Amino acid sequence: MLREVTATRYIEPLRSGGSVPGVVEADDLGTYVVKFTGSAQGRKALVAEVIVGELARALGLRFPELVLVHFDPAIADDEPHQEVRGLHAASAGLNLGMDHLPGARDFTPEIARVFPVDPLEAGKIVWLDALTVNVDRTVHSSNLMVWPTLGVAPPRLWLIDHGAALVFHHRWDATDPRKAYDFRHHALGHYGPDVRAADAELAPRVAEELLRHILAEVPDAWLADEPGFATADEVREAYVTYLHARVQASRDWLPTGFPTREELAAEEALRTAKNQQGRPAWLKQVPDLHGKPAVRQDGSVHLG
């Protein structure tokens, strides 16, 4: 089960996304990035974080430890922004924390040009994203970090941010577990991910027993009041049933046909050219701000 800690000091909010997580210190002396139950994404985003993150760990992929964080809004009374204080007030109680990776850097397109990734490792990450329908790991927003950046150990890829995965749990009765998704613009697509080897290795490991073990880590309160289900355990079993059925149907959704770096660059150039069409001459020199920098959990700059 996930460890439980109590937040003792609020450090700062992170504005890298709409959920505005916060960095806190806890009574175990650890530092965590906390995603709050009162955020606009709601509790299902936290459920997805637990399921996909713990599944990644079970399959041998690098993912920071998750903990359940008891949060008292009073420790953040000095926060100057009213909207952030409102988020804290709506999140009193149990929230989700991710171990802070000090000094980690975002896996940006610039880093991707020089950072080596083994095709099998890339294939395993793509496979996990396809299984869990994580559409939020693209060349523009990788939700990958490189860590450590200092020390004797070589830097490695770490997965973060899976709140947008498991899209099926927003419409339980309308999603076919065999459905394929467009992963051509996956952040690791140009590494030649060996998804077939990944499928052969990982699919047999995603058994119903493993899925039930992972779902047991999701707090009952985050599964309560789900329309169409009487209890939290019924919701857990629905996740198990869907994900296991999707594993069994991997031949129907296995991503293939990833574009090369050159093809991606050509697509980006075409997109930029289309965006320029019809703009006044004086605006054509203004840079595209679609990828404006944002601060990640470690204070690094995120360009996607």
Q: How many folded domains does the chain comprise?
A: 1
Is residue 94, in this structure, part of any structural domain at all? Answer: yes
Q: Report residue 295's pLDDT band, with 50, 70 and 90 as the boundaries.
A: very low
Q: Give the span between the Cα atoms of 76 and 55, in whole angstroms.
A: 32
Is residue 118, in this structure, part of any structural domain at all? Answer: no
Is residue 58, in this structure, part of any structural domain at all? Answer: yes
Is residue 66, in this structure, part of any structural domain at all? Answer: yes
Is residue 86, in this structure, part of any structural domain at all? Answer: yes
Does the pLDDT of residue 161 top 80, yes or no?
yes
Residue 14: which of 77, 81, 107 has the closest Cα?
81
The token pair that represents 269 in the structure block:
């150039």
**Helices vs strands, H then E, count in the chain:** 9, 10
Q: Report residue 101's pLDDT band, with 50, 70 and 90 as the boundaries.
A: very high
What's the whole-model pTM score?
0.87
Is residue 242, in this structure, part of any structural domain at all? Answer: no
Residue 64: which of 8, 7, 147, 5 has the closest Cα?
147
Is residue 130, in this structure, part of any structural domain at all? Answer: no
Q: Report residue 140's pLDDT band, with 50, 70 and 90 as the boundaries.
A: confident
Is residue 54, in this structure, part of any structural domain at all? Answer: yes
Query: What is the domain extent for residue 66?
Result: 3-100
